[in-house]
């Protein structure tokens, strides 16, 4: 495996596995802290809620990219499986092209809006919303990459005549 390929895999794992795992732990600890301070010390804290919400956004949005990479997302394949292999390849390519083009078209407007959100801050911790919602932009880039990879895989399989 080349250095560039290893670096790419590490960055992919960083954004799709490690960061969501860390944000999940942060979310869980903030949630437990909130329960302990509220019910055992009768003195609820307000900041763990914000930490939990922001960590939840990071966990779900970046974790969805890992599910997409592993092709473990929910599919309704009843009708899709009835088509011949060649048609399935073409439908797979068509669907991934739609996703990639749609997300690519939305990249700049989403980035611009996320940058606009830096003027708004969360109520308690004063975290700028562009930090809270930046993983959505990363998710869009990763989903475009996964769609392009699936298009390339489908084209190769279509040429070989193999099954998806």
pLDDT tens for the chain, 164 residues long, are: 688 889 888 998 899 999 999 999 999 999 999 999 999 988 889 899 999 999 999 999 999 999 888 877 777 778 778 888 888 889 889 999 999 999 999 999 999 999 999 999 989 999 999 999 999 999 999 999 999 999 999 999 888 875 54
Q: Which of 72, 106, 134 is the last residue of a domain?
A: 72
Residues 43, 104, single domain; the answer is no
Q: Say whether pTM exceeds 0.95.
A: no
- Tally of domains within the chain: 2
Residues 26, 101, single domain; the answer is no
pLDDT at 84: 86
Alpha-carbon distance of 111 to 138, in angstroms, equals 10
Phi first, then psi: give them for residue 134, nearest 5 degrees.
Answer: -60, -30
Enclosing domain of residue 143: 75-164
Residues 65, 21, single domain; the answer is yes
Q: Which among 109, 23, 105, 101 is positioned nearest to 66, based on CA atoms?
A: 23
Residues 152, 81, single domain; the answer is yes
Q: Which of helix, strand or coil describes residue 121?
A: strand
Residues 38, 95, single domain; the answer is no
Q: Which of 56, 72, 88 is the last residue of a domain?
A: 72
Residues 127, 82, single domain; the answer is yes
pLDDT at 18: 94
Q: Which of 72, 101, 126 is the last residue of a domain?
A: 72
Residues 125, 149, single domain; the answer is yes
Contact criterion met (CB below 8 Å) for 65 and 137: no
Contact criterion met (CB below 8 Å) for 33 and 108: no
């Amino acid at each position: 495996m080349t250095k560039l390929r290893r670096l790419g895999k590490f960055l992919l794992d960083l954004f799709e596995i490690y960061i969501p795992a860390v944000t999940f732990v942060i979310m869980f600890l903030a949630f437990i802290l909130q329960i302990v301070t509220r019910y055992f010390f009768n003195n609820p804290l307000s900041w763990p809620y914000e930490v939990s919400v922001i960590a939840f956004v990071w966990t779900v949005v970046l974790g969805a990219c890992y599910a997409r990479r592993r092709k473990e997302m929910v599919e309704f394949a009843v009708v899709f499986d009835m088509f011949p292999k060649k048609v399935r390849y073409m439908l797979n390519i068509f669907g991934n092209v739609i996703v990639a083009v749609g997300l690519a078209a939305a990249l700049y407007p989403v980035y611009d809006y996320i940058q606009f959100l830096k003027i708004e801050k969360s109520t308690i911790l004063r975290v700028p919303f562009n930090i809270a919602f930046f993983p959505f932009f990363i998710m869009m880039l990763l989903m475009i990459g996964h769609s392009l990879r699936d298009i390339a895989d489908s084209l190769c399989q279509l040429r070989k005549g193999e099954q998806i």
